[in-house]
């Protein structure tokens, strides 16, 4: 299999995984410090989806770090197929969760204009922004993985 | 370039484009017959995104039909790159719009429970369901296109 930036076991790949992990963890932290996120189905879904993203990205970051440290190559087609499926599932769930939460944030803070506690609103918006950043890095990873699989 | 089910100029490709077009048009029709969708930013975004999907899918369906009728092959890399970019942009926008609208539908009809006009609620939910179906077929098309480009 070809070797290019962002594939498993490269420094760019590791950086992408760490970025996904950091953004997703930040999103969960921002949501968890609000007092009423559990009243909104979409925000609960966002936390669940970011939790999945955290677990997935952390596992793959550790695998990348191990491959880099030991100079191992992770490019066999079964492993890459697994990465592709996992990446696509987490990226799609992240985008759906981020969009659903963004829909509600816009509804509350723009359409209705009913944001009474400024600190809370800011936290919701910050969490949504971090979720989109996490999706963006996960999407980049998933495109690279898919390209790697297809290009053989 | 390889020739497999769903690539431009095949019957499966044409069926996928027609499905995208029908679902997106159905979604717009369902939204447009409600009385207050323009009060919600997410629903307006859904209509705009489905409008883009309708235009894109219809153009590509016509191109597929022309290629089928005249027995032309549409597999040159510049054309496929264009299809890949267009497909990814429309598919991502569709998923984001469908999720944002789904977030609001769930908020209104489950979390708050404030659905007073049953016919309207049903139309919103139906539009969201059609948007997800449209995204699903657009996503299939975009995966096939990306595979075609990567596999060369």
Reported confidence tier of residue B1, pLDDT bands at 50, 70, 90: low
Point out the residue among A41, A97, A98 whose CB comes nearest to the CB of B110. Answer: A41
- The distance from CA A78 to its chain's CA centroid, rounded to whole angstroms, is 23
Closest CA to B100 of B23, B44, B26: B44
Is A6 a member of any domain?
A: no
Helical pair B11-32 and B118-151, crossing angle rounded to 10 deg: 150
- With beta carbons under 8 A apart, name residues in chain A contacting B147: 146, 150
Determine the average pLDDT of the residues in A84-103.
93
Reported confidence tier of residue B152, pLDDT bands at 50, 70, 90: confident
Residue A80, token pair as written in the block: 């890459």
Q: Is A101 on the interface with B (CB under 8 A)?
A: yes
How confident is the prediction for chain A on average, in pLDDT? Answer: 88
- With beta carbons under 8 A apart, name residues in chain B contacting A41: 103, 106-107, 110-111
Q: DSSP code of B35? A: S
Q: Do the chains contact at B104 and A104, CB–CB below 8 Å?
A: yes
Using the predicted structure, report yes or no on whether residue A40 has a pLDDT greater than 80: yes
Reported confidence tier of residue A72, pLDDT bands at 50, 70, 90: confident
Instruction: Compute CA distances A25 → A44, A129, A146, B88, whole Å.
Output: 14, 13, 25, 27
Using the predicted structure, report yes or no on whether residue A149 has a pLDDT greater than 80: yes
Range of the domain at B32: 11-151
Amino acid A137: pLDDT: 94
Q: Is B113 on the interface with A (CB under 8 A)?
A: no
Amino acid B2: pLDDT: 66
Q: Is A113 on the interface with B (CB under 8 A)?
A: no
Half-sphere exposure of residue B26: CA atoms within 13 angstroms, side-chain side: 18
Q: Do the chains contact at A111 and B150, CB–CB below 8 Å?
A: no
Residue A2, token pair as written in the block: 């070809």
Is A125 a member of any domain?
A: yes
Half-sphere exposure of residue A100: CA atoms within 13 angstroms, side-chain side: 24
Is A64 a member of any domain?
A: yes
pLDDT higher at B108 or B82: B82
Q: Do the chains contact at B99 and A104, CB–CB below 8 Å?
A: no
Is A145 a member of any domain?
A: yes
- With beta carbons under 8 A apart, name residues in chain A contacting B103: 41-42, 99-104
Q: Do the chains contact at A42 and B107, CB–CB below 8 Å?
A: yes
Is B2 a member of any domain?
A: no
Using the predicted structure, report yes or no on whether residue B119 has a pLDDT greater than 70: yes
Q: Is B84 on the interface with A (CB under 8 A)?
A: no
Closest-CA residue of chain B to A152: B151
Determine the average pLDDT of the residues in B80-103.
93
Is A2 a member of any domain?
A: no
Is B64 a member of any domain?
A: yes
Q: How many CB atoms lie within 10 A of CB B67?
A: 18
Determine the average pLDDT of the residues in A50-74.
91
Reported confidence tier of residue A136, pLDDT bands at 50, 70, 90: very high
Q: Do the chains contact at B99 and A100, CB–CB below 8 Å?
A: yes
Give the Cα-Cα-Cα angle B23, A139, A8 (nearest 5 degrees): 140
User: How many domains is chain A built from?
Assistant: 1
Is B3 a member of any domain?
A: no
Closest-CA residue of chain A to B111: A40
Amino acid A1: pLDDT: 60
């Amino acid at each position: 299999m070809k070797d290019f930036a962002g594939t498993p076991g490269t420094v760019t790949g590791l950086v992408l995984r760490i970025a996904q992990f950091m953004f997703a963890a930040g999103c969960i932290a921002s949501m968890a410090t609000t007092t009423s996120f559990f009243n909104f189905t979409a925000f609960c879904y966002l936390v669940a989806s970011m939790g999945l993203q955290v677990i997935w990205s952390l596992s793959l970051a550790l695998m990348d770090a191990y491959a880099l440290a030991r100079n191992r190559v992770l490019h066999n087609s079964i492993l890459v197929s697994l990465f592709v499926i996992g990446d696509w599932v987490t990226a799609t769930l992240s985008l759906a969760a981020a969009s659903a939460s963004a829909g509600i944030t816009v509804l509350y803070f723009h359409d209705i204009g009913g944001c009474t506690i400024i600190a809370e609103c800011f936290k919701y918006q910050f969490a949504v922004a971090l979720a989109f950043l996490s999706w963006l890095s996960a999407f980049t990873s998933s495109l690279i993985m898919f390209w790697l699989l297809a290009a053989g």
